[in-house]
Amino acid sequence: MLRIYFLQHWFALSDPATEAALYDTPAMRCFAQIDLGQEPVPDATTRCKFRHLLEENNLGVALFDAVAVYLEENGMKVSKGTIVDATIINAPTATKNKSNTRDPDRHQTKKGKQWYFGMKAHIGVDSKTKLIHSVVATPANVHDSQVLGDLLHGEETRLWGDSAYAGQQSVLKDNDPKVKDYTQVKGSRHRKLTEQDKAKNRHKSKVRAKVEHVFHIM
């Protein structure tokens, strides 16, 4: 069931599509260790119950930590640089729960001129390997900077982030006293960015852009 769970996420498959793919694709059945001569593919209800079991026991966090240990044991270690960023996970605004109300863990927020409803994924990414070492999920209206402390592993010497994370020196001091702040310089109506500020931001963006590769995979 766990192998099927991974396949469903890796290939972005719905429950019916997962079942069809397992019947149609020998390679997927081989990975999931399903022998059609011995048993059928687990149906959608069974897979749904399995996902709920993971959620109820908070096993997503345990799996995340186990993968991190496995990667470190195989030579993929987290270095001294962390890139932080967040992305909105949009959901239909009409989504209701059993009590016919909106999910309290979701909220609306405005980005640019567009309104979104849903949640937000905040991640801390290793600046060298692009491995995700920390994840926080919040309602979409929580500002990126509010969870910065939860995205640091505590041994960073460098931090990259967009202007949403600017001005968080007190958080950095509490978590990583030695870390150097390479977040984007933020301009305002009363303080315009100088050409030197813009040049520094462009240089920082070359490192910070790595986080977009991770979001693409997510």
Q: Is the CB of residue 56 less than 8 Å from the CB of residue 50? A: no
Say yes or no: 164 and 187 in one domain.
yes
Same domain, 122 and 26: no
Determine, yes or no, domain membership for 85: yes
In this structure, are 41 and 99 located in the same domain?
A: no
* Whole-number pLDDT of residue 97: 64
- The 10 Å CB-count burial string (b at 16+, else e) for 129-151 is eebbbbbbebbbbbebbebbbeb
pLDDT at residue 159 in the model = 92
What does each C-alpha distance from 26 to 16, 23, 33, 38 come to in angstroms? Answer: 17, 7, 10, 15
Given a contact cutoff of 8 angstroms between Cβ atoms, the answer to whether 107 and 88 are in contact is no
What was the pLDDT predicted at 131? 87
Same-domain status, 23 and 89: no
**How many structural domains is the chain composed of?**
2
- Looking at the fold, whether 80 and 117 belong to one and the same domain comes out as yes
Instruction: Give the angle 72-78-82 at the CA atoms, nearest 5°.
Output: 155
Instruction: Kindly give the parts of the chain with pLDDT less than 70.
Output: 94-98
What was the pLDDT predicted at 33?
A: 95
Domain interval for residue 200:
72-217
pLDDT tens for each residue of 70-87: 888 888 777 789 999 999
Contact (Cβ atoms closer than 8 angstroms) between residue 140 and residue 88: yes
